[in-house]
């Protein structure tokens, strides 16, 4: 990229995209927190998620997202969504374009963050305590019971962190939740968000974005002792979607 174009991209990112994104996020999270008292996790909160995601994608110059495989999901079912993670832009892409409402699985430490933690509780997002093996297993079992009993869909970035474009080895959390809850795991592949906003960068770019949805995988026949094998299966499913 020519130096003048690079400078223009930096100025556009720092003085237009980032301030507008923060302002939009601040306004909508304030509305969400205020209304979560009377509408903690229903259609109104889902509307706010999607509105925020649509506005952020537009601010960041993402004109459209190509979605494939949506017909493989049933609105009547709930899923453990298993996705790769390329960029901070993955979150608005998924909130805006995944056709089944879902909750995020977040670190319990986020509950201590002012406003965000309170909102996560009110909106019904799930958290896991990673302080020790015992506390982690306890919170994962509680999450699995919630997914099963409340028929919630939950989304997990299975790599555990944002990658640089190459798929990283999956953690076993998604497989654990799917097996323990009996809920099918649905593989997802996000393509192109790392060109919009690379990991650990504040400079926005441009490019096409795709969300590829794979056929859900039943955990029937797998026990918790088999979660490494189930994790490997899910990782291969996501890799196949990325290479499709």
Q: What is the pLDDT of residue 2?
A: 47
pTM for the full model? 0.89
Q: What is the pLDDT of residue 115?
A: 66
Per-residue pLDDT band for 57 (boundaries 50, 70, 90) equals very high
Nearest to 188 by CA among 99, 61, 124: 99
Percent of residues, the chain, with pLDDT higher than 70: 94
Per-residue pLDDT band for 41 (boundaries 50, 70, 90) equals low
The 3-class SS string of the chain reads CCHHHHHHHHHHHHHHHHHHHHHHHHHHHHHHHHHCCCCCCCHHHHHHHHHHHHHHHHHCCCCCEEEECHHHCCCCCCCEEEECCCCCCHHHHHHHHCCCCCEEEEEHHHHHCCCHHHHHHHHCCEEECCCCHHHHHHHHHHHHHHHHHCCCCEEEECCCCCCCCCCCCCCCHHHHHHHHHCCCEEEEEEECHHHHCCCCCCCCCCCCEEEEECCCECCCCCCHHHHHHHHHHHHHHHHHHHCC
The whole-angstrom distance between residue 57's C-alpha and the CA centroid of its chain comes to 15
How many of the other CB atoms lie within 10 Å of CB of 153? 18
How many of the other CB atoms lie within 10 Å of CB of 206? 12
Mean pLDDT of 96-100: 95
Q: Which stretch of 92-106, 109-123, 159-173, 229-243 has the lowest confidence by average pLDDT?
A: 109-123
Question: Taking all residues of the chain, what is their mean pLDDT, rounded to a whole number?
Answer: 88
Each residue of 137-152: pLDDT tens digit? 898 999 999 999 999 9
Mean pLDDT of 109-128: 75
Each residue of 164-214: pLDDT tens digit? 778 999 999 999 999 999 999 999 999 999 999 988 888 888 888 999 999
Q: What is the pLDDT of residue 26?
A: 84
d(CA 120, CA 167) in angstroms, rounded, equals: 28
The CATH class given to the 63-242 domain equals: alpha beta
- Per domain, the residue ranges of the chain are 63-242
d(CA 93, CA 148) in angstroms, rounded, equals: 26
Mean pLDDT of 84-93: 93
d(CA 15, CA 18) in angstroms, rounded, equals: 7
């Amino acid at each position: 990229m020519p130096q003048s174009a690079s400078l223009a991209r930096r100025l556009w990112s720092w003085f237009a995209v980032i301030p507008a994104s923060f302002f939009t996020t601040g306004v909508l999270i304030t509305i969400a927190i205020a209304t979560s008292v009377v509408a903690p996790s229903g259609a109104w909160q889902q509307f706010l998620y999607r509105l925020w995601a649509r506005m952020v994608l537009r601010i960041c110059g993402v004109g459209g997202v190509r979605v494939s495989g949506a017909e493989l999901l049933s609105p009547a079912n709930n899923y453990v969504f298993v996705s790769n993670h390329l960029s901070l832009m993955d979150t608005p892409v998924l909130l805006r374009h995944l056709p089944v409402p879902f909750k995020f699985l977040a670190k319990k430490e986020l509950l201590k963050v002012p406003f965000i933690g309170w909102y996560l509780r009110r909106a019904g997002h799930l958290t896991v305590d990673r302080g020790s093996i015992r506390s982690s297993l306890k919170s994962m079992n509680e999450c699995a019971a919630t997914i099963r009993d409340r028929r919630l869909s939950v989304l997990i970035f299975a790599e555990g962190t944002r990658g640089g474009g190459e798929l990283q080895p999956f953690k076993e959390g998604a497989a654990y939740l799917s097996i323990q809850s009996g809920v099918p795991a649905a593989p997802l592949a996000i393509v192109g968000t790392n060109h919009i906003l690379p990991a650990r960068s504040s400079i926005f770019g441009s490019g096409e974005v795709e969300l590829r949805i794979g056929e859900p995988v039943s955990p029937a026949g797998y026990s918790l002792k088999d979660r490494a094998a189930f994790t490997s299966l899910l990782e291969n499913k996501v890799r196949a979607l990325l290479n499709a």
